[in-house]
Amino acid sequence: MSKKRLWITRRLSDATLERAERDYDTVVNHEDEPGSAADLIAASAEFDAIIPCHSEHLSADVVAQFSDRLKIVANHSVGVDHCDLPALKKRGIVVTNTPDVLSDATAELAMLLMLGAARHAVAGDRIVRSGAWDSWSPAFMVGKQVTGARLGIVGMGRVGKAFAAKARGFDMEIHYFNRSELPPDQAQGATYHDNIESLLGVADFLSLHCPATPETTNLMNADRFALLPKGAVVVNTARGALVDEAALLDAIKTGDVSAAGLDCFQTEPGGNPAFANHENIFMLPHIGSATRQTRDAMGFRALDNLDAYFAGKTPKDVL
Ligand code: 8YV
């Protein structure tokens, strides 16, 4: 039987591409530029399957123009806010994602951002690197201690739980808001809040781990920033859409939020230039899952889903 045709929209890990090329008639976008609407529509007529990243936007308009040839979109991401799921469902196209395998890498990055924001990583690095470090004082770059502080987690899914596990190693007191309370073996002593406002009131550190949906857009707005304890630190490794960036900037300027650690922005790539003057905003360019091990695991998980589909089975991560 001839191999199924697969389009891979970005330069995935070498191991992933090797396996894809072995098992599928694979075309890889080696230029590694995001696939445009026109690219996606054209690909739907030439390929049975696509592995996109969150950089490809499968909007309702794009999906409506897809050819009937395309059978499955096996995302190389856990987040699927770049896909119009109802539109894909209507076209009978199977959609999968890559949960679990990136939870630890993303939680590690959340820890880096939390610690870096709390302890002046940006200003500290700049002052040493630039040769401007010419004095020292006990009052110099005094930060906020994580040990023993209260951590508020919004969204206690896979990444939220992985972050909580790492934060327990820092003796943090874990609080969370989630659609439903976790069973005790999963909560591991974390305190459940059945509404976000209650969580914000105790969050000396706040970390966002929920998906971007119409309901969570601008979840952290001015009113909600105002509920945080004075000087809270805010971390976002989930999606930029969760944070009203103008409101965050206001809270940073007043000191109501003492620092932020951000891996996600409303505009990507690019970020928010208005944040650049504030060294208490520690920023990274959406690299939460960017470790070698995790990139391989994400690619393999997407391929596992494809293999299952083409073997006539239900893929593990079908949405
Ligand atoms: C990925 C992500 O880097 O998985 C997600 O949802 O946001 C990131 O971890 C990216 O989506 C890869 O396609």
Each residue's pLDDT tens digit, 257-290: 999 999 999 999 999 999 999 999 999 999 999 9
CA–CA gap between residue 294 and residue 100 (Å, rounded): 10
Protein residue with least CA distance to atom 5, ligand 1: 77
Task: Residue 312: count other Cβ atoms within 10 Å of its Cβ.
Answer: 6
Which atom number of ligand 1 is nearest to the Cα of residue 105? 9
Instruction: Quote the distance between the C-alpha of residue 228 and its chain's center.
Output: 22
228-259 tens-digit pLDDT:
999 999 999 999 999 999 999 999 999 999 99
Does the beta carbon of 78 sit less than 6 angstroms from any atom of ligand 1? yes
The amino acid present at 178, given as its one-letter code, is: N
Calculate mean pLDDT across residues 112-119. Answer: 98
Q: Which amino acid is at 205?
A: F
Tell me which of 19, 119, 158, 239 is the catalytic residue: 239
Average pLDDT, the chain: 98
Calpha distance 162→107 (Å, rounded): 6
Rounded Cα distance, 156 and 147, in Å: 21
Question: Known catalytic residue: 209?
Answer: no
Output the residue whose Cα is nearest ligand 1's atom 6.
79
Cβ–ligand 1 contact at 241 (below 6 Å): no
Q: Residue 268 catalytic?
A: yes
- Assign 1 a pLDDT band (cuts: 50, 70, 90): confident
